[in-house]
Amino acid sequence: MNATQRAVQEELHRIAPDIEFESIDADEDLREEFDMDSMDFLHLVTALGKRFGVPMPEADYPRMSSYNALCSYLDEVIE
């Protein structure tokens, strides 16, 4: 697990503390896998943006639709 994956898991754990990451489908819709509403998703994106010091504009939200997609997006914008 790289630093991006660890950070995403830590922030997701704050929103959905009972989820076991081993049991999720990392390519499925993030909101459905973690039973997140739009505010939860906004908190997640905001926290990750602050944590890494990168903008995460709303126009890019579709690129963050799954756990894997979100990690890939962050890896791309952090570099």
pLDDT number for residue 25: 92
pLDDT digits (tens, 9 = 90+) for 19-67: 888 888 999 999 988 889 999 999 999 999 999 999 999 999 999 999 9
pLDDT number for residue 16: 84
| Contact in structure between 15 and 51 (CB atoms under 8 Å) | no
pLDDT number for residue 14: 92
The domain limits of the chain are 3-78
Task: Look up the CATH architecture of domain 3-78.
Answer: Orthogonal Bundle (1.10)
| Single pTM value for the model | 0.91
Nearest alpha-carbon partner for 30 in 59, 77, 62: 62
